[in-house]
A and B are shown apart, each in its own frame.
Chain A
Amino acid sequence: MKVGLPRALLFYYYDPLWQAFFHALDIETVTSGATTPHIVDNGVRNSVAEICVPIKIFCGHVVELLATDVDAVFIPRMITVEERKRFCPKFLGLPDMMRYTVPGLEGRLLDPDIQCRQESLADAQDYESLAKMLGKSGREVKRAFAVASEQWEVFRRYHRSGMNIDEAMAALNKKENPVYEPPKNEKRLTIAVLGYVYNIYDSFVGMDIIKKLRLMGADVVTFEMLDDGSVAEKLQRYSKTTPWTFTNKLLGAGYDFFEDPKIDGMIHVTAFGCGPDSMLGRLLEFIAVDHGKPFMTIRVDEHTGEAHLSTRVEAFTDMLRRKKFPVR
């Protein structure tokens, strides 16, 4: 059996886990390539017009994989990975939506329900139905989950040590990791970049914003680098948190970053059509005002050009630098 993994949405968070999982079961995997304009076009063609860009991109990757010889495309139904929070509704309906919109997917879809209380999926319970889909035994699947969550914990530890996702993935695969050399610049800045992993790390959407900022002499921090514990603790003080897992992580990270005196400014990268971000964005604006810190939103759609992003990022860093190092 050969399983296709779309390089989109939670790929950037869970890929090491699923790779290890299928590897432990001796199942071959194929991952779609980096997002290209062609993939985006295919996604747009097979999606309803108003849906958010990341879902369109996901759809494009599914089309891409179906054109290969994979037996099934893996689209887990991500429901919960922590208590009381769920994923954005589009994740809950993702396999159904894909099944009925992408021609040829019916019959080649692997869509287990993921309903856990731990982010590492270490407490996954429903082995049997997944085992049936994969033609394995429940025990084998259970063991594969154990191996996979361990591997994923290693990946997360890399994050917390300050690596971004690209770096952590490289470290995990023992690839040569081009050590990031901060350019020599006396007037260094630290900027927090907030956004879902599939917006920041998909170079089509995020346009390598992290690299760009570093070239401009700024150190970058992201939410994955924070300890989940500290995020949860920050949020406890607020009466009500958002209903969605990752939105909530961003909100918690936002509080954390705004309070952190080391951080000079914050950029929120959001995709056109994102529902949760329409609320998160407003809350972040309020918090920014409360803390008197510079804050900028970059909203990306399928037509946004690289030049637009570069100009805005440059203007923002210039402004921060003038603020931090005033010329007398």
Chain B
Amino acid sequence: MKVTFPYMGPVLAYKKLLEAVGHEVIMPQKPTQGTFDLATKYSPEFLCFPFKCLMGTYIEALEAGAEAIVTTGGDDNCRAGFYAEVHRRILASLGYNVQFFVIESLFKHPRDFIGSIRDLKGKYSWWHALGTIHFCYDLIAAMDRIQERIRILRAHEKNKGDFTRAWRDIEELFDTCYDRQDVRETEKKAWKILHSVPVELWDPKQAMRIGIVGEIYVTMEGHANQEIEETLAAMGVEVVNSQYVSHWLKQRLQILPWRKSHMEKIIAKAKPYLKLDLGGHEQENIAHMIDYWEKGLDGVIHLMPFACMPELVTQSIIPRISKDLGMPIVSLALDEQRGTANIQTRLEAFLDLAMGKKIRRAGVPGLAAR
């Protein structure tokens, strides 16, 4: 069957996973203006931005021949858990005959989870399926490690665009991996490529470093956040992003109760501000803000889709967190219509503030001259 899936995070790994169990994959395309136009046309006006992006991506993939969509469900109480149901009805009303595979949470609905994996794996053995999952996890984790480093290095590249090009080459290499051994070797090559990209010499004490937290889709996807990371890199700002699919998986799949993840350890810091998780990553986001400040980052950017329910609660609390910590935090709401101008202005004001704070905090004289 020809299957497709949302364009989010390490799409390459999803492709590998589905191909390994005998599906033909129609790769979802990175959303463009055309995708947004489709999205706006066929989505309810007040639905959130990620829903619309997926709507557009799905239609494009269906037009390219996809017959089924694999996505996640979940009954957290953010709207994302209910996306698939509404997408399905809208696509049906548009006349697409499409099958949905909705992967539910392994822990909350073990039976549904296993059921959907069984449907997907078809005639392949469980052993084969598990092996493939393990391989894909390694692939995602390796790619995440490389990207994490690029986010720092890119601020210092000699020739604009070098790291973007390097990343494209690295992705192509990973595309040729078929088992865990391949992943290990490819990662070594990838590091070599990274280290061969020419960079300016820089003083780590003087470089600005900004954390990005927020709703997972807009935080991870450049097309959804107006390529904010590239903008920052061009301004010489290093970026630490809080959202990685491998971290997310690791937390969800953590089964050894005595091995506390880093996240669990820092989440206590968020509790005085927000007692419960609201269905997304709100406590994590707040915990990251505090953790980043303690680690010496210079500020945090909070990204959210316009009118995202749980993140609006975070946004309400941010002024207070920022005041308590003395750290600049800016919260930006994104959707398909917001112009770049407004975001650019707010970003610049925020960076000025962060720079001022940095000079005062570290007392680095050389900085004032920049």
Contact = CB atoms under 8 A, between A and B. Distances in A.
Interface of A: 47-48, 50-51, 77, 79, 84, 86-90, 92-93, 95-97, 100-101, 113, 239-240, 242-244, 273-279, 281-283, 286
B23 to A, nearest CB: 23
A50 B82 contact: no
B235 interface: no
B284 interface: no
Contacts of B306: 50
A88 B77 contact: yes
Q: Which 3 residue pairs of A and B lie closest in terms of their CB atoms, listed nearest first? A: A93-B313, A278-B46, A89-B278
Given A50-B306, A240-B82, A275-B48, A96 B77 contact: no
Contacts of A244: 77
B315 interface: yes
Contact of A275 (B79, B276, B282): B79
Interface string B296-324: 00000000001111101101110110000
For B46, B90, B319, the residue with the greatest tally of chain A CB atoms inside 10 Å of its CB is B46
For B76, B85, B93, the residue with the greatest tally of chain A CB atoms inside 10 Å of its CB is B85
B47 interface: yes
Interface of B: 44-48, 73, 75-79, 81-82, 84-86, 89-90, 93, 273-276, 278-280, 282, 306-310, 312-313, 315-317, 319-320, 333
B77 A89 contact: yes
Given A275-B307, A282-B44, A97 B316 contact: yes
Contact of B275 (A86, A96, A240, A274): A96
Given A48-B312, A101-B316, A93 B274 contact: yes
B243 to A, nearest CB: 18
Nearest to A115: B276
26 contacts: A48-B315, A50-B306, A50-B315, A77-B276, A86-B279, A89-B78, A92-B77, A93-B274, A95-B275, A96-B273, A97-B313, A97-B317, A100-B317, A101-B316, A101-B320, A113-B275, A240-B85, A243-B76, A243-B77, A275-B79, A275-B307, A277-B46, A278-B45, A278-B46, A281-B44, A286-B89
B196 to A, nearest CB: 45
A78 to B, nearest CB: 11
A117 to B, nearest CB: 16
A186 to B, nearest CB: 38
Contact of A283 (B89, B279, B280): B89
Given A96-B275, A277-B46, A283 B313 contact: no
A278 B46 CA distance: 5
Contacts of B313: 89-90, 92-93, 96-97
A48 B316 contact: yes
B48 A50 contact: no
A110 to B, nearest CB: 14
B282 A243 contact: no
B77 A93 contact: no
A87 B309 CA distance: 12
A282 B309 contact: no
A242 B48 CA distance: 16
A320 B278 CA distance: 41
Given A50-B333, A88-B309, A276 B276 contact: no
A100 B86 contact: no
B279 A279 contact: no
Contact of A89 (B93, B275, B310): B310
Contacts of A277: 46
A37 to B, nearest CB: 23
Contacts of B79: 275-276, 278-279
Contacts of A239: 85
Contacts of B312: 48, 50-51, 90
Contacts of A79: 276
Contacts of A48: 312, 315-316
Nearest to A247: B82
A79 B77 CA distance: 11
Contacts of A274: 46
Contacts of A90: 309, 312-313
A85 to B, nearest CB: 8
Given A93-B313, A279-B47, A286 B93 contact: yes
A93 B278 contact: yes
A113 B280 CA distance: 19
A89 B307 CA distance: 12
A131 to B, nearest CB: 19
Contacts of B82: 240, 242-243, 279
Contact of A279 (B44, B73, B278, B333): B44
B216 to A, nearest CB: 15
